Amino acid sequence: MKVAVIGLGLIGGSMALALKDKNLASSLVGVDANPEHQQKALALGLVDAVAGMEEAVDASDLIVLAVPVNIASQMIVPLLNRLTHQVLFDVGSTKQSICTAADASPNRNRFVATHPMWGTEYSGPTSAVHGAFENKAVVICNSEASDADALEKTSSIYQALGMHLLYMDAAAHDIHAAYISHISHISSFALANTVLEKEREDNAIFEMASGGFESTVRLAKSNPEMWMPIFMQNKENILDVLNEHISQLRKFKSSLEKEDEGFLLELINNANRIRRIIK
Bigger pLDDT: 120 or 214? 120
Q: How far apart, in whole angstroms, are the C-alpha atoms of residue 199 and residue 145?
A: 51
Query: Which pLDDT value is given to residue 198?
Result: 75
Cα dihedral sign for 176, 179, 184, 187?
positive
* pLDDT band with cut points at 50, 70 and 90 for residue 205: low
- Residue by residue, DSSP assigns 119-135 as --S--SGGG--TTTTTT
Residue ranges of domains in the chain, CATH in brackets: 2-169 (3.40.50.720), 173-276 (1.10.3660.10)
pTM score, whole prediction:
0.92
pLDDT single digits (tens) 227-277: 999 999 999 999 999 999 999 999 999 999 999 999 999 999 999 998 887
Q: How far apart, in whole angstroms, are the C-alpha atoms of residue 120 and residue 143?
A: 27
